Amino acid sequence: MTRVHEGARIALVQAGLGAGGTEKVLARLARHLDGQGYRVTILAIWGMPDAAYYPVPESVEIRTMVAEKGARAALRTFARIRWLRAALRGQEVVLSCLTKINVQVALATAGLGLRRIASERNNFLVQRMNPIWRYAMPMALATADRAVMQTEAARAALPAFARGRAVVIPNAVEVPERQPDLPGPAIVAVGRLAEQKGFDTLIGAVSEAAKRGSDMHVTIYGAGEDREALFALSERLGVARLIDLAGPSPTPHAWTRAPGIFVLSSRFEGFPNVLVEAMAAGFAVIATDCDWGPREILRHGREGVLIPVGDIDALADALIRLHDDADLRERLGRAARLRATAFAEERILSAWERVILGVPGSLGPAEPRPTPG
């Protein structure tokens, strides 16, 4: 199957219904496709259909395996494949995201005649995964009608036999129409409390800044397995009074309402949604120059500040500089917001729709970003 008619039945498959970047992308895509007249179903293994973090129109059906089959069944790979196969019968297009789901959907749809699109959303070179999934991942992408990657670096990292089916579509962002307030000195970070996000580096940088006589309060929004370890680290370094582990943002994007300084301290990424969201909201941003994403999103010194991964001193330097220099925050915030328009929803979601329909066309950002020097 190479082309799909308008108004087709489309299934979007993901692991859960939480506050992650994949869930956000698919919720926005579901809203867009529903508005274009497609019949959209969201399928997830985990979560309850009435408790999805990101809202979708009532006309979008949400089904989860745990709600229909129970948690015990949802833990078993072959049971997942059987449930997915039954749920996908009658669909015309299926878009799946993340390695395990991509492989399971590839197996579940064998012989069903669906147009299948698979998307990787993280850095598969360094993220931890069972060797079975690591070996199966390229085949799941190579046998799909299309593979969607978030950055050119991610596409280039695929084996040659899988690369030919891959296109690049970065994540979309809503750019507010109103001009945001000028960014203040408050510091915000957002993400899962896990090793990947490098919040230990951020806490270390706050400690280093305090040693230099610059006390800065940081609010970290997110939940995860490293919460207790991060709190213990802040106490050990004597900066617990400066670190607020605030939990998940109470509503999507609530943290963007008052622009300030945004920090992405990640060790690796697939495509950092929160970085582009902060830029669109007018934050002055600091990001690690990690694989993948930041260097394709912003230029060092123009739309933000890039620092080496894990470099506590460099992050402390950047924090102090932006915290103390209102003019620099204003300049970087304005440039960041302008750059974020390249990822505007209308353009990016239209690119997704073309891939779903099988229509060729240009994809990705309006212009390539040079690697910062």
Q: What is the pLDDT of residues 117-171, one digit of tens each?
A: 999 998 888 888 899 999 999 999 999 999 999 999 999 999 999 998 999 999 9
Report CA-CA distances (Å) from 169 to 5, 148, 212: 21, 6, 42
Percent above pLDDT 70 for the chain? 95
The H-or-E segment that residue 33 falls in is helix 21-35
| Domain co-membership, 295 together with 350 | no
State the DSSP string of 253-272. TGGGSS--EEEE--S--S--
Closest CA to 80 of 96, 102, 65, 62: 65
The answer to whether 268 and 127 are in contact (CB under 8 A) is yes
pLDDT of residue 174: 87
**Looking at residue 373, what is its pLDDT?**
34
pLDDT per position as a tens digit, 285-299? 999 999 999 999 999
**Residue 283: what are its φ and ψ, rounded to 5°?**
-70, 150
pLDDT reading at 351 higher than 60: yes
362 within some domain: no
Assess whether 155 and 85 both reside in one domain. Answer: yes
The whole-number average pLDDT for the span 337-363 is 85
Mean pLDDT of 195-207: 98
Question: Is residue 370 included in any domain, yes or no?
Answer: no
351: left (phi over 0), alpha (psi -120 to 50) or beta: alpha
224 and 158 inside one domain:
no
User: Would the pLDDT of 370 be above 50?
Assistant: no
Note whether 232 and 351 are same-domain residues. Answer: no
Residues 191 and 334 in one domain: yes
Omega before 292 within 30 of 0, i.e. cis = yes
Give the separation between CA 337 and CA 7, rounded to whole angstroms.
34
Q: Is the pLDDT of residue 109 over 50?
A: yes
Cβ atoms of 159 and 234 closer than 8 Å: no
- Check whether residue 323 and residue 349 sit in a common domain: no
Is residue 303 domain-shared with residue 351, that is, in the same domain?
no
Asked whether the predicted pLDDT for residue 300 surpasses 70, the reply is: yes
* Angle separating helix axes 131-142 and 99-108, nearest 10 degrees: 60
Would you say residue 37 lies in a domain? yes
Q: What is each CA distance from 44 to 14, 41, 89, 356, 357, in whole angstroms?
A: 5, 10, 15, 19, 22
Domain that holds residue 194: 187-342
Among the listed residues 90, 89, 91, 98, the one whose alpha carbon sits nearest the alpha carbon of residue 118: 98
Contact partners, residue 3, CB within 8 Å, separation at least 6: 357, 358, 359
For residue 150, being part of any structural domain is answered with yes
Does residue 351 share a domain with residue 236?
no
The total number of structural domains in the chain stands at 2
* Domain presence at residue 177: no
Token pair recorded at residue 24: 């956000």
The shares of helix, strand and coil residues in the chain, as percent rounded to the nearest 5, are 40, 15, 40
Pairwise CA distance, residues 182 & 208, whole Å: 27
Asked if residue 4 is part of any domain, the answer here is no
Residues 161 and 216 in one domain: no
Question: Does 159 lie in the same domain as 191?
Answer: no
Q: Does residue 127 lie in a domain region?
A: yes
Q: Is residue 132 part of a domain?
A: yes
The answer on 218 and 124 residing in a single domain is no
The domain spanning residue 111 has which CATH number?
Answer: 3.40.50.2000
User: C-alpha distances in angstroms, 30 versus 36, 237, 282, 342?
Assistant: 10, 44, 27, 21
pLDDT-derived band of residue 368, with 50, 70 and 90 as boundaries? very low
Give 3-43 pLDDT, tens digit per residue: 577 789 999 999 999 988 899 999 999 999 999 999 999 99
**Same domain for 157 and 225:** no
Question: Which pLDDT score is estimated for 360?
Answer: 59
Mean pLDDT of 202-206: 98
pTM of the shown model? 0.83
Has residue 178 got a pLDDT over 90?
Answer: no
